[in-house]
Amino acid sequence: MGTDDKRRHSSVVVDGVDRAPSRAMLRAVGFTDDDFKKPQVGVASTWSMVTPCNMHINILADEAARSVSASGGKGVVFNTIAVSDGISMGTQGMRYSLVSREVICDSIEAVTEGQGFDGLITIGGCDKNMPGCVMAMARINRPSVFIYGGTIQPGKNRRDIVSVFEAVGAHAKGDIDDKQLHEVESTAIPGPGSCGGMYTANTMASAIEALGLSLPNSSAQEAISDNKKDDCDRAGRAVLNLIEKNIRPSDILSKKSFENAITVVIAIGGSTNAVLHLIAMAHSAGITLTLDDFTRIGAKTPVLADVKPSGKYLMSELIEIGGIQPLMKMLLDKGLLHGDCLTVTGKTLAENLADVQPYPADQDIIRPFDNPVKKDSHLVILYGNLAPGGAVAKISGKEGLKFTGTAKVYSSEENALKAILDGSIQKGDVIVIRYEGPVGGPGMREMLSPTSAIMGKGLGKDVALITDGRFSGGSHGFVVGHVTPEAAVGGPLAFVETGDTITIDAEKQKIIWDVADGVLKPGRGLWKAPESPKRGLLAKYADHVSSASDGAVTDAFPD
């Protein structure tokens, strides 16, 4: 490629006599005469001080931009937003979390297209940053590399944010007092980085690496580490190589690469949010991915990682034994990954993994295939008269594979949490939380507070929870989310009554509401949708968002 070919977007902005005003503006932010001749790379930073997940990303963004500029390009840092799930959890503010994924994607598109960048580096830390970044990369389709901000170091006694949520439940049960709760609260989060278990952030970082959009082991590095700084340095050089070779996300993303991502998510015991986000990311790339793809791949893919929330180990401990690269090599050698998929290294996945060394013989974080944590996927797609459009369950098997119980129905997360904490929930109950879907929330809040309270109260094996909302990657127990159609659009969940019997059967992949079909007809005629916001971001989101089974996207393409 010639110089102009490498700058086919930025040259429109800065070349020629008529672009003197643009160059004048850019000189003020540090451009020189030579810089106007170089490929421009936008570095989308999700830095902010609203969450420890992102508080260090300005340092990573500066390092990536420095690397671009030192390697023959011109790096330009710009910012987008972050909403902290861990802070907003259990409040009305959590309605903005999933919405922020769309805002992040749209804002990166706006700046990249508006400024005419030739390439793009995106850096994400908190949960929705990562899919939002990838959706933008796929939509814009310019040479791009994703950098994961990195995981947090463990707190005292291997604590993390979920330790605090579960301590609230233990406090309500009377197992710990105010002083002990304060001690957990004060020591769980020691500094920068994303939440420390295989929650949504670490899950999505691993999935993006499996997709081929980040450099090898970007997903398995601590936020504050030399390895993470090196990742940023390598990303700066890698994006210029992609520009040189004109390798774009559309050359990397394919149905096979998404199948690789699903396989890795299952093997690591990842978050249910991965289902929602991978479908949305595929949508942005123009690739059809459905709930049934998770079932198909899940039938042949075991859970191999014994990691939190349902397992034992933290991400930092997985990093110590080599991260996910040796796991991916295991999966590739077993024929469970497509090795011919292109990646941002300019090489295939198989080429990247060729020299990866196996895990140490004495480790037990990643199990062998003949002794898995679970023989098939923990992400179970359920259908039935309560979820004709599908639902997503996270069932590790530790809580059993089938649950039949009596519904206790709540129309908000807050009401359900109150009932759990005050002792109203008993063994055999199926907690139903409705009107928390993409439209009904609006925003599809995560139910970490209720699920953590259930675990803290010692009811993890004795109750189930069903919702048209979703779950944090830190949730575990017998939980079913993403119920579609959601209650706010007249889905069956809107008509469940306290006292009804509900069965969740992971083996048959069914969720059954024990009620005659005819019973629904009178109630449906009287039912009215709950009021939704009339203006602002949530109103726009509710008007445009698709079903959770379709990724809860807002840029639906015409048929």
Just list the catalytic residues: 472
Q: Residue 8 class from Cβ within 10 Å (0-12 exposed, 13-18 middle, 19+ buried)?
A: middle
The SS3 assignment for 252 reads helix
How remote is the C-alpha of 170 from its chain's centroid?
28
Contacts of 271 (CB under 8 A, 6+ apart): 198, 199, 200, 203, 204, 265, 394, 471, 472, 473
CA distances from 186 to 103, 159, 452 (A): 32, 10, 18
Q: Output the six-digit token pair for 383.
A: 């259908």
Distances from the Cα of 62 to the Cα of 47, 70, 108, 193, 279, angstroms: 11, 12, 17, 17, 31
Q: List the Cα angle 504/372/273 in 5-degree steps.
A: 50
Phi, psi of 407, rounded to the nearest 5 degrees: -70, 140
Total Cβ atoms within 10 A of residue 484: 24
Find tokens 């259930």 and name the residue: 454
How many angstroms separate the Cα of 135 from the Cα of each of 117, 279, 441?
17, 10, 22
List the structure tokens of 553.
């996207």
Residue type, 458: G
Burial call 151-165: b when 16+ CB within 10 Å, e when fewer: bbbbbeeebbbbbbb
Residue located via tokens 């993890």: 460
Query: Nearest Cα to 396, choosing from 375, 374, 365?
Result: 374
> Measured at the alpha carbon of residue 115, what is the angle toward residues 138 and 204, in degrees to the nearest 5?
30
Q: How far is CA 409 from CA 253, 466, 469, 510, 538, in A?
A: 41, 10, 14, 20, 25
CA distance 154 to 173: 26
